[in-house]
Chains A and B, each alone.
Chain A
Amino acid sequence: MSAPAPVTALRGRHLLGISDLATDEITLILDTAHAMREVGERAIKKVPALRGRTIVNLFFEPSTRTRTSFEIAEKRLSADTLSLAVSTSSVVKGETLLDTVSNIEAMAPDMLVVRHASSGACHQLARHCRARIVNAGDGLHEHPTQALLDAYTMRQHKGSLEGLQVAIVGDLLHSRVLRSNLLLLRKMGATVRVAAPRPLVPVGIEALGAVACRTIEEALDGADVVMMLRIQLERMQNNFFPSLREYFTLFGLTPARMALARPDAIVMHPGPMNRGVEIASEVADGPRAVILEQVANGVAVRMAVLYLLGGGTEE
């Protein structure tokens, strides 16, 4: 008897979400990222893997860190890249998403890295585009490369994802980071406990495999990983909670609360942080925070995804 051959390529043409990935594909991406990380440590941080490939980064929603991370990843792989910040104000209201992208497609890019404020936008494009699509965040739906870089960071510190106790606390309702992380962590055998003020807990989150906790303390109890999600300041105006002050009192990550997690627990945050709202600076800057490692790993993971989707020859 021999073990099944390890997977060496992704099965899909696109990376639209974690929901499309099998566990062996997730492992392949994380293993490939490990090799890519080494490239970033060289004096000359460049390999020719995607030489001659054109990648267009289409950001319909403002982003600094994700776009920068993709751009660096693309350049390290020697791709020809172009980034377009298509601000929603400049897109004529009523112009179809497809029209906008068809114009780009006419110039024959090999890959499109797309961020859009509408959930499902990448799926809609994938039905019509020749280019391969990497979802860089669609509405409230998925942000797969973020979940992959988070998984990479967890694996780095904890060895394996299987059996990990992960607490995710913050604006669950509006978070694509939550959805992608939840899907990935459940597939890889981790337990995910979530906590937020009740109005920010999505209906049916348990059906996606999360354990919903009423308090942050309950979520943190014995956790290996503590992931905080950004609280957008405008949420307060819609009565999801009464004030930032009270949010911090009830759900902020403080040193005292961190003591509930395992002594070797790590603290993660997808950024940008609101210090004093979801996380105290003492924790964010403390020894258990791996927040900047996440950023560094983001480049390696995105290199891995782009390489695996675009490095091979077209059949």
Chain B
Amino acid sequence: MTQPMTYILKNGRVVDPANGRDGIFDIEVRDGVIARIGVDLPVPEGTPILDVPASCVVTPGLIDMHVHLREPGQEHKETVASGVAAAVAGGFTAVACMPNTSPINDSAAVTRYILDKAQEAGLARVYPIGAASVGSKGGQMAEIGELKAAGCVAVSDDGHPISTALLMRRVLEYAGMLDVLVIDHCEDPSLKGEGVVHEGAVATELGLRGIPGQAEELWIERDITLAGLTATSFHVAHLSTAGSLRAVRAGKARGIAVTCEVAPHHFVLTDEALRGYDTNTKMNPPLRPQADVQALIEGLADGSVDAIATDHAPHHADEKALSYDQAPFGITGLETAVSLTFDRLLHAGHIDLTRLVELLSVNPARILKVVGGALHQGAPADISVLAPDLPVTVRAATQKSLSKNMPFEGWTLRGGVAATIVGGRLVYRNAAVDGLAAWPSAPVQ
């Protein structure tokens, strides 16, 4: 079947927290937007019907607000095209990509290049995040106005913390004036030193140099204080410790507009995973001890964590084949996030479906101020169809990302992705889900 312009997603369980909806609904998609949503919608003559299997759940499109697409400059790791293919296969209808490309995305030219590549790929929406400082070097502020005009939704020096308190203050003020979100990679570089893993008993035993959790916590305290000083909003990238979460909670409690995200690997793995020196357990921030993991899970459940974001960081196998201390930080995440969230948070009883959709869709849309996060008449038809009970075996070889650096090879998980719809177009269909064979074929299968 070729892709219809108008169709009805029939009898799906729709979980749409932004509109207080959780029940069986039909969604009529027309020319890329949601034309109607309701119970037992009348079907005009000749309108194709996509029956939603009873095993599936229909949600607003998932948004990953922290990925690295590596293009321009590091196309051997990932391209915009391969990255968005991985995104839609992972259930994401949109991604926000960090500026640490080569060259750094600190100019409208690079932003437009990324957007052009995203347009060509035509899969997930791509929201570039511009650099906060020129070259992310922490000196001169980047032209945030120009970046915004070109299409950037936020600024960050990700990979590096925004260098000084004064620069952070100025960036918060200036970006705040332009209504551009500031995202910081919170880590005190001097305290990090040459650390490669979490500082603790495991690091000591393995002889790997440690990074204390306090390197992150100190920096978050700095940034929250500055967000208070400037009365602007600020977002913490990849928060990883109990102390960081305490700081964010305290900031929120005193009315500061701070939000934060947590990456799946930080609520799934502890630093025990370092044993054996698999370089796919090396990422920054590093894997933390059980007490931190427990605190993050509590924060994800109680609402103090706003979003799940993957920090998808593709690296070529040759780069990860270096010794542990020399291998680059980072793992891929786009194609495992949904399964890990279902298996380790939802089925483990920590969160319900509503919360899952808030973490993966509603809140990222709200924080980034982008379309999506809700399914209502007139909204773009960005829709994820999830399969909460689908048995999934993680295999790097079948993933769409160009890179295979992830520590979950062979894991069996409960929960996955059935289909992904972006702007009304079915861009991903999972043949392993019963009942989808009758759906149109999709560019990513």
Contact in complex: B322, A120 (CB < 8 Å): no
Contact in complex: B207, A207 (CB < 8 Å): no
Q: Is A203 an interface residue (CB 8 A)?
A: yes
Query: Could you mark each residue 286-329 of chain B with 1 if its beta carbon is under 8 Å from any beta carbon of chain A, else 0?
Result: 00000000000000000000000000000000100111111000
Contact in complex: A203, B206 (CB < 8 Å): no
From B196-204, B222-230, B236-244, B341-349, give the one contacting chain A: B196-204
Kindly report which residue of chain B lies nearest to residue A139, judged by CB atoms: B207
Contact in complex: B207, A176 (CB < 8 Å): yes
User: Bound state CA distance, A139 and B326, in angstroms?
Assistant: 12
Q: Is B277 an interface residue (CB 8 A)?
A: yes
Kindly report which residue of chain A lies nearest to residue B320, judged by CB atoms: A96
Contact in complex: B208, A124 (CB < 8 Å): no
Minimal beta-carbon separation of B24 from chain A (angstroms)? 51
Contact in complex: A139, B205 (CB < 8 Å): no
Residues of chain A within 8 A (CB-CB) of B207 are: 119-120, 138-142, 176, 179
Contact in complex: B326, A118 (CB < 8 Å): yes
Residues of chain A within 8 A (CB-CB) of B210 are: 203
Among the listed B202, B204, B318, B325, which residue makes an inter-chain contact with A118, where contact means beta carbons less than 8 Å apart? B325
Residues of chain A within 8 A (CB-CB) of B209 are: 140
User: Bound state CA distance, A94 and B324, in angstroms?
Assistant: 13
Contact in complex: A119, B325 (CB < 8 Å): yes
Contact in complex: A120, B323 (CB < 8 Å): yes
Residues of chain A within 8 A (CB-CB) of B410 are: none
Known pairs A140-B208, A141-B206, A176-B207; A116 contacts B200 (CB<8 A): no
Q: Is B44 an interface residue (CB 8 A)?
A: no
21 A-B contact pairs sorted by A residue (CB < 8 Å)? A19-B205, A94-B322, A97-B321, A98-B321, A118-B325, A119-B206, A119-B277, A119-B324, A120-B206, A120-B208, A121-B324, A123-B276, A124-B277, A140-B207, A141-B207, A179-B204, A203-B201, A203-B203, A203-B204, A204-B203, A207-B205
User: Bound state CA distance, A204 and B210, in angstroms?
Assistant: 11
Interface size class of B (residues with CB under 8 A): 20 to 34
Q: Using a CB-CB cutoff of 8 Å, which residues 228-273 of chain B contact chain A?
A: none
User: Which has the most chain A C-beta neighbours within 10 Å: B208, B277, B321?
Assistant: B277
Residues of B within 8 A of A (CB): 199-210, 212, 276-277, 318, 321-326
Contact in complex: A97, B204 (CB < 8 Å): no
Residues of chain A within 8 A (CB-CB) of B324 are: 118-121, 124
9 A-B pairs with the lowest CB-CB distances in the bound complex, closest first: A141-B207, A204-B201, A120-B277, A118-B323, A140-B207, A119-B207, A207-B201, A96-B321, A202-B204
User: Bound state CA distance, A123 and B326, in angstroms?
Assistant: 15
Contact in complex: A116, B204 (CB < 8 Å): no
Known pairs A179-B205, A204-B200; A139 contacts B277 (CB<8 A): no
Residues of chain B within 8 A (CB-CB) of A94 are: 322
Known pairs A120-B208, A204-B204, A207-B201; A139 contacts B325 (CB<8 A): yes
Minimal beta-carbon separation of A203 from chain B (angstroms)? 5
Q: Is A3 an interface residue (CB 8 A)?
A: no
Kindly report which residue of chain A lies nearest to residue B326, judged by CB atoms: A118
Interface size class of A (residues with CB under 8 A): 20 to 34
Among the listed B203, B205, B323, which residue makes an inter-chain contact with A121, where contact means beta carbons less than 8 Å apart? B323
User: Bound state CA distance, A176 and B206, in angstroms?
Assistant: 10
Minimal beta-carbon separation of B407 from chain A (angstroms)? 15
Kindly report which residue of chain B lies nearest to residue A128, judged by CB atoms: B321
User: Which has the most chain A C-beta neighbours within 10 Å: B202, B205, B209?
Assistant: B205
Contact in complex: B277, A97 (CB < 8 Å): no
User: Which has the most chain B C-beta neighbours within 10 Å: A179, A204, A205?
Assistant: A204
Q: Is A208 an interface residue (CB 8 A)?
A: yes
Contact in complex: A203, B323 (CB < 8 Å): no
User: Which has the most chain A C-beta neighbours within 10 Å: B210, B318, B323?
Assistant: B323
Residues of chain B within 8 A (CB-CB) of A205 are: 204
User: Bound state CA distance, A92 and B207, in angstroms?
Assistant: 24
Contact in complex: A208, B326 (CB < 8 Å): no
Kindly report which residue of chain B lies nearest to residue A203, judged by CB atoms: B199
Residues of chain B within 8 A (CB-CB) of A207 are: 201, 204-205
Residues of chain B within 8 A (CB-CB) of A118 are: 323-326
Kindly report which residue of chain A lies nearest to residue B279, judged by CB atoms: A124
Known contacts A97-B322, A204-B204; 15 further A-B pairs (Cβ under 8 A): A96-B318, A96-B322, A98-B321, A118-B325, A118-B326, A120-B323, A123-B277, A124-B323, A138-B207, A139-B208, A140-B208, A203-B201, A203-B204, A204-B201, A204-B202
Known pairs A124-B324, A139-B325, A203-B201; A119 contacts B276 (CB<8 A): no
Kindly report which residue of chain B lies nearest to residue A127, judged by CB atoms: B276
User: Bound state CA distance, A179 and B204, in angstroms?
Assistant: 9
User: Bound state CA distance, A281 and B323, in angstroms?
Assistant: 39
